[in-house]
Amino acid sequence: MPENIRFSARIGPSELTVQAEYSEKVRELLSLKYDRRPLAFVHTYGCQGNVSDSEHIKGMLAGMGYGFCTQAEGADLILLNTCAVREHAEDRVIGNIGALKQYKARRPDAVVAVCGCMMQQEHMALRVKNTFPFVNLIFGTNAVHELPEMLYTVLSQGRRVLRIPDGAGIIAEGIPAVRDSSFKAFIPIMYGCNNFCSYCIVPHVRGRERSRRMADILTEARDLIGRGYREITLLGQNVNSYGKDLTGEPMFAQLLREINAIEGDFVIRFMTSHPRDCSRELIDTIAACEKVARHLHLPFQSGNDRVLKAMNRHYTREKYLDIVRYAKEKIPDLSLTSDVIVGFPGETYEEFQDTLSLVEEVAYTSLFTFIFSPRRGTPAAAMEDPVSHREKTVWFKELTDLQEKIAAQRTAAMVGRTYRVLVENPARGKEGIVCGRTSGNTIIEFPAPETMIGSFAHVTVTQARSWVLAGELAEV
Ligand code: SAM
Ligand code: SF4
Ligand code: F3S
């Protein structure tokens, strides 16, 4: 057996049966407490992985009898699912918890729960516990499936509960989900991360890389597509290494082929790809699978080899550009997006120029740009960081200006062309206008009835504005 195979902690059916019994007990308690359906407000910070977790949290809450509301006011349970990736994300959470103090004073019976990545860090969980005595329940990412039991303790004994189990992480199959959309779905294919990029908190709060069984993923995908879902997004911090912990070999390309073979009209998306594990086989698979979107999110973080090494990214600028060149050759209409960090500790202005030149060379559709944020417990947080934040914001502006120029050129080139889009939502504040997403992940706004939301349409781009494209329904 290959050495790198490890068995993750799968939550067995007996544990889930225990939780189902607690779920029933909570339902009974709630029916005694309220003469109406109790309402929960679930607010999610951070990445799609957290959004997916919240959908499963809502699935458990629905099982306990909760309905849902879209704001804290009026809620009987307020749950904040937090993110720890940057300091700014954590500051927002702390501010929002503080704002709930008034509400709890008016509604002492309401339960306030805080969970997610931020709470998997003991120092943060204790800070929330000690600063906000009105928070009833605090739990980390490894305890999500125990929500019924924890909530039962809070409701039946009036005790505060804090649960942050250690360990490399869990996989819990069979937890129902209340999905945010009726036509777009997230499917987590793996959890955790083994890469330990020197700046990143994710492996510390999400545990080691662990893959769901392919059969479980395919069952979920078939079920969703059978129910009319039009877009499936496969989630993982490093989807390219999916399956390595199951068989010793990466199986992501195979997974894509299997999902692509499911009958139906739908789009397959995935994120995130790590350049280290992005193989030519994977690119060939994307090219060959007609349902896989022509979009690759491939974070490069920095264009400079010394900085990439200090980040522990395990690829060079040249290796990254080599994948990009191969991908562009095999998939000519491919849209590339990426994540970039500006001002990693010790990065010089000359080194930052390599990031700019890489952005120029690749010509991304869009970029997620971040100023380095030190995360307690990560190696980068202890590195010398002589460049001031003010200076980093100047570099940051240089990068976003460059990207804006590139994006404008790309969108201008789309004018006059017709794209197949998935109609997603009404355009905010624009009556009669809806938004559709192209295979390459670009949004086009166009006049159409809202009844088209959730279906595919062909749209011709008529105008490229700074952020969005305008178009009109095409005759096909
Ligand atoms: N797994 C993905 C990957 O390897 O590209 C990224 C996951 S992370 C949640 C999303 C992005 O946040 C990263 O790609 C990185 O650009 C950014 N990020 C992570 N830690 C950061 C930090 N300490 N400071 C600034 N940006 C950070
Ligand atoms: Fe963080 Fe790196 Fe893992 Fe992405 S690959 S989650 S950036 S440690
Ligand atoms: Fe944030 Fe956790 Fe995702 S730290 S970005 S919510 S994995």
Task: Tally the residues of the chain.
Answer: 476
Q: Tell me, what's the pLDDT at 168?
A: 75
Can you tell me the mean pLDDT for 340-350? 98
pLDDT tens figures, 392-424: 999 999 999 999 999 999 999 999 999 999 999
Dihedral, CA of residue 193, residue 198, residue 200 and residue 201, to nearest 10: 80
Contact criterion met (CB below 8 Å) for 127 and 121: no
- Name the pLDDT band for 234 (thresholds 50, 70, 90): very high
pLDDT tens figures, 242-287: 999 999 988 999 999 999 999 999 999 999 999 998 999 999 999 9
Can you tell me the mean pLDDT for 216-237? 97
**CA 294 to each of CA 283, 326, 343, 358, 365: distance values in angstroms, whole numbers, following the listed order:** 11, 14, 31, 21, 12
- The conformational region for residue 438 under phi > 0 = left, psi -120 to 50 = alpha, else beta, is beta
Mean pLDDT of the chain: 95
**How far is the C-alpha of 283 from the C-alpha of 323, rounded, in Å?**
9
- Residues at CB less than 6 angstroms from ligand 1: 47, 85-86, 199-200, 202, 237-238, 272, 274, 299, 301, 339, 341, 370, 372-373, 375
DSSP conformation letters of 17-75:
HHHHHHHHHHHHHHHHH-SS--EEEEEE-SSHHHHHHHHHHHHHHHHTT-EE-SSSTT-
pLDDT tens figures, 299-338: 999 999 999 999 999 999 999 999 999 999 999 999 999 9
Q: Does residue 158 register a pLDDT over 80?
A: yes
Does the beta carbon of 427 lie inside 6 Å of ligand 3?
Answer: no
Does the beta carbon of 196 lie inside 6 Å of ligand 2?
Answer: yes
Q: Which ligand 1 atom sits closest to the C-alpha of 301?
A: 16
Q: Which ligand 1 atom sits closest to the C-alpha of 373?
A: 24
DSSP state of 301: B
Contact criterion met (CB below 8 Å) for 79 and 113: yes
Q: Tell me, what's the pLDDT at 466?
A: 66
Q: Does residue 7 register a pLDDT over 80?
A: no
Q: Does residue 2 register a pLDDT over 80?
A: no
pLDDT tens figures, 73-99: 999 999 999 999 999 999 999 999 999
Q: For 55-76, b where at least 16 C-beta lie within 10 A, e where not — what string?
A: bbbbebbbbbbbeebeebeebb
Can you tell me the mean pLDDT for 358-377? 97
**How far is the C-alpha of 71 from the C-alpha of 76, rounded, in Å?**
11
In the reported structure, the alpha carbon of residue 372 is separated from the centroid of ligand 1 by a whole-number distance in angstroms of: 9
Q: Does a cis peptide bond (omega within 30 degrees of 0) precede residue 44? A: no
**CA 231 to each of CA 14, 299, 314, 449: distance values in angstroms, whole numbers, following the listed order:** 33, 22, 32, 20
Percent of the chain surpassing pLDDT 90: 91
Residue 134 tokens read as: 């009105």
Q: Does residue 149 register a pLDDT over 80?
A: yes
Task: Among 314, 339, 366, 373, say which to mutate for ligand 1: greatest number of ligand atoms within 8 Å of CB.
Answer: 339
Does the beta carbon of 287 lie inside 6 Å of ligand 3?
Answer: no
Contact criterion met (CB below 8 Å) for 135 and 108: no
Residue 124 tokens read as: 């943060």
Coil, helix or strand at residue 142: helix
Can you tell me the mean pLDDT for 345-369? 98
Dihedral, CA of residue 264, residue 274, residue 173 and residue 261, to nearest 10: 20
Can you tell me the mean pLDDT for 207-212? 93
Taking alpha carbons only, the member of 71, 238, 58, 235 closest to residue 147 is 58
Does the beta carbon of 440 lie inside 6 Å of ligand 3?
Answer: no
CB atoms < 10 A from the CB of 237, how many? Answer: 22
In the reported structure, the alpha carbon of residue 175 is separated from the centroid of ligand 3 by a whole-number distance in angstroms of: 20
Strand ordering across the sheet containing 267-271:
184-188, 231-235, 267-271
Q: Does residue 9 register a pLDDT over 80?
A: no
The structure's pTM equals: 0.95
Can you tell me the mean pLDDT for 357-384? 97
Return the residue whose CA atom lies nearest to atom 4 of ligand 2.
237
- Name the pLDDT band for 42 (thresholds 50, 70, 90): very high
Can you tell me the mean pLDDT for 444-448? 97
**How far is the C-alpha of 472 from the C-alpha of 476, rounded, in Å?**
12
